[in-house]
Chains A and B, each alone.
Chain A
Amino acid sequence: MDTLFSGLQILAQWDVLMALVIGSIGGVVIGALPGVGPAVAIAILLPATFAFEPIVGLTLLLGIYGSSMYGGAIPAILINTPGTPVNALTTYDGYPMTKRKEGHRALSLAYTASFFGGIFSVICLILLAPLLALVAPHFGSREIFLAAFMGILLVVVAHRGQTFAAGMLTCFGIFLNTVGLEPVKYTKRFTFDQSWLSSGFDLIVVVLGLFALSQAFLLLIEKDHAPGDAHVQGSMLSGVKELLGIKRIATVSSSLGVLMGMIPGVGEFTAQFLSYTYAQKTSKTPDAFGNGSPEGLVASEAANNAVPGAAMIPLLALGIPGEALTAMMLSVFYVHNVIPGPQLFETQLDFVMALYLALILLNLIVLVFLLFSTNLLLKIIQIPTRFLGMMILTLSFIGVYSLRNSITDCAIAAGFGVLGLILKRLNLPIVPIILGMVLGGIMEVKLRAAMAAVKTPIDFISRPIAAIIFVMIIGILVLHIRTLIREQKAKQKPEPVGPDYEHSSQQG
């Protein structure tokens, strides 16, 4: 209770609250704009947050992360264009409802489901915090190495149908992290005697290139289009009553969101896939899924909004980001010399609590904002895409240049911008590169530290938590191979050919 109270005290500062309001409302607007997304916004704002206290910077970024999916549901439901990639599943049931003149119902249900998912996840986190504080100190170097390795493995196998691409891009990320002067033996790695390569590739420069600049280039080159006009009428609170009727699906979906958020390398897509499948299998009307089922809509929105809160767990407790957005947040910690990890839960639980409470407030602010401003947002999202491209490119400059005032950084970011554009056009995933860079660095440091105390290979997994993670890694591999074999067998059986399903590989 004391920690909860001191968490509240941390939060009750004007700059933190201001960051929370700006982040939450900004996140909704950014999420509602198709073509921007939280990753672009976080990448651009990241260097600007370095000047603030860690709690202020993190609250701002967390605000954008946690609220963007609320905003993303608006164009997904009303104009069949997901605002953020994770809202793609929402279009399946949301847009058919709009076509049936139930747009208002769908939107209000999406808001309440998102709110339920968000609050549910924070309550789980607050309840879990003492347990985490108990377990976190048992995570030593070998456990963190294994957890990071599991994250790498999951990010590769979670990209179904693109495992090789995800694998090669993850390895590319690990490679990028190794370039430059190595800090232990002071040897040069892949610098080709070029001074600009000696300091290596900065994560923020790469992130800005891959997410922000690539998106700006893409929007500027592609044909210009502006989302169509739409309008909703009526109270947005009507979804509360309907949600109570399907609270089982909302609870299970949120739980899956929390679980998938906690596991590094998994995230929103898997949580949505599992909750949607569960909702469809247990529904009395499974055929309605994909044709405007309120249950499907709730499954999608509750699951994706439960992820951001849970994704903070591996980041805060182990210092391991589970996906691109938390990987970016990690750099806020590093800049302020706050190293997230087990000791954070031991010594700064109030800081962690403040972040959790910020998440609750964020959900409340967003809900209140959306109750009154949905129609205003529908006007904002009509910005032509090329104009949006101009805006992103202009803003990206601040992100890259303000880091070190380096023209080289800008040139490198532009290079990664072109790479990001190619990957987006090919629908190949970008996240593995970022996670490879971050987790690769963690694995290198932790392996070196862990092996000092290891005499035989079995020592590495002799501690209980290390053994559990090791069993999980083996389990993931076995399950993946089993799924591949099953898929292959199913492919060989003649079956009716359905429409091609293509989902976006882009996250954030």
Chain B
Amino acid sequence: MTRIKYFQELFQRYRRPGDLVFAVVFLLFALFLLSQLGEQTKWVKRTKWFGQPALWPSIAVWGMVIFGAFHLLGSIVSPRIYGRLKEVVFWLRSLEYVLYFLVYVAIVPLCGYLPSTILFALFLTLRAGFRRPQHLTLAALFAVCVALIFRGFLQVKIPAGEIYQYLPEAVRAFALSYL
């Protein structure tokens, strides 16, 4: 009994809700990589151990498995913290914003950087719960500044929107280069 208590004390650590879920998923991922180690890396003939392409992936994956197992052990022997499901739901809620972000990424080459950024900033501002006109104006102003500074002034590599082709000739060249 004393031995078990000592063992628990040795591995107990500070945790937050959801720690066990992460520890399990990480270890499973590490074990999956370990199972693929032979398939996905090669030990090449006539090459010494330090030059083997499989050396560092092996060190990394074994390290993930060993440390991950101890991390999980620490989670198991530490007192349970309630709120695990709530925490996992919180993590999953981020996927909504991942989706918005990827939609934004997809529309930039079509609609152009400036219009897409204004739309994205306004949409996110509304989604975040800001409805007042000054918030929306600020968001639009922010989007315009970002687009002009980065694409117009700093000439950061972002393609021009396909939609710009349909602009009147007087504005088209400017839009293709700066907006």
Contacts and interface: CB of A to CB of B under 8 A. Distances in A.
Interface in A399-436: 401-402, 405, 407, 410-411, 414-415, 417-418, 421-422, 425-428, 436
B137 interface: no
A468 interface: no
B146 to A, nearest CB: 6
Interface stretch (A83-91, A162-170, A234-242, A249-257): A162-170
Contact of B67 (A171, A189, A398): A171
A369 interface: no
Interface residues of B, number: 76
B98 A401 contact: no
User: Which of B16, B18, B40: most chain A Cβ within 10 A?
Assistant: B40
B33 A190 contact: yes
Contact of B128 (A188, A191, A389, A436): A389
A426 B105 CA distance: 29
Interface stretch (A174-182, A274-282, A285-293): A174-182
Interface string B131-167: 0000100110011001000100011111100000000
Contacts of A500: 14
Contacts of B121: 390, 394
Interface of B: 6, 9-10, 13-16, 18-19, 22, 26, 30, 33, 36, 40-42, 44, 47-48, 50-51, 53-57, 59-64, 66-68, 70-71, 74, 87, 90-91, 93-95, 97-98, 101-102, 104-106, 108-109, 117, 120-121, 124-125, 127-130, 135, 138-139, 142-143, 146, 150, 154-159
Given A405-B159, A492-B9, 4 more contacts: A175-B60, A177-B56, A185-B44, A389-B124
What are the 8 A-B residue pairs with the smallest beta carbon separation, nearest first?
A: A171-B63, A167-B67, A168-B67, A175-B60, A386-B128, A174-B60, A164-B71, A390-B124
26 contacts: A48-B150, A164-B70, A164-B74, A165-B71, A171-B61, A178-B56, A185-B47, A187-B53, A188-B40, A189-B54, A190-B41, A387-B139, A398-B158, A402-B150, A405-B109, A405-B157, A405-B159, A418-B91, A418-B98, A422-B18, A425-B90, A425-B91, A427-B16, A444-B56, A492-B6, A502-B14
